[in-house]
Amino acid sequence: MKLLILNGVNLNMTGVREKSVYGSETLDDINREIEAFCKARGAECEFFQSNLEGELCTQIQQSDADGIILNAGAFTHYSYALRDAIASVKTPVVEVHMSNVHAREEFRHKSVISEVCKGTVLGFGKKSYILAAESFLI
Ligand code: DQA
């Protein structure tokens, strides 16, 4: 089992930006934790982050992983390109958000990718990624 952990726009600023919302650990810290969790369960994972929408689409199109865990950041709320990329592949994609987007600004309540994702995990901080990984491993 191989998982691709894909992070979108501004997620590289995790641990630096809005710490009260996203915590003080960096994306590298979080990725190391996901990797340890997967490894302990015999799964492999690879990581990619980009602030560029098209690069994320290419990763989705070209991935040979068994599953993708995607935190698209703000692209979640308006990227029809990402939505179409997810819809164009057979690889199951689980949408992830660290914050509870439904308890935040109204523009965050809408996800244009949820419909084409296998499921969504949100609101559990970095554990959202772990729970999403677990969904592939159970
Ligand atoms: C986020 C929520 C998005 O609304 C926001 O734009 C992000 C992070 C989250 O992980 O909670 O960049 O996806």
- Please report, for residues 71, 77, 105, 130, 131, the alpha-carbon distance to residue 124 in angstroms, rounded to integers and kept in the order given: 13, 19, 18, 9, 9
Domain count, the chain: 1
Q: Is 46 exposed, middle or buried (0-12, 13-18, 19+ CB in 10 A)?
A: middle
Q: Find the DSSP H helices in the chain.
A: 19-22, 27-40, 53-62, 80-87, 127-137
In a structure prediction context, what are the per-residue pLDDT tens digits for the chain, which is 138 residues long? 999 999 999 999 999 999 999 999 999 999 999 999 999 999 999 999 999 999 999 999 999 999 999 999 999 999 999 999 999 999 999 999 999 999 999 999 999 999 999 999 999 999 999 999 999 998
From 75, 108, 131, mutation site for ligand 1 pocket: most ligand atoms within 8 A of C-beta = 108
- Domain with 79, as residue range(s), is 2-137
Measured in Å, residue 41 CA sits from the centre of ligand 1 at: 27
- Ligand 1, pocket-test mutation among 79, 95, 99, 105, most atoms within 8 A of CB: 99
Phi, psi of 30 (to 5 degrees): -65, -45
CATH number of the domain to which 46 belongs? 3.40.50.9100
Q: Per the confidence metrics, is the pTM higher than 0.95?
A: yes
Question: What are 82-108's pLDDT values in tens digits?
Answer: 999 999 999 999 999 999 999 999 999
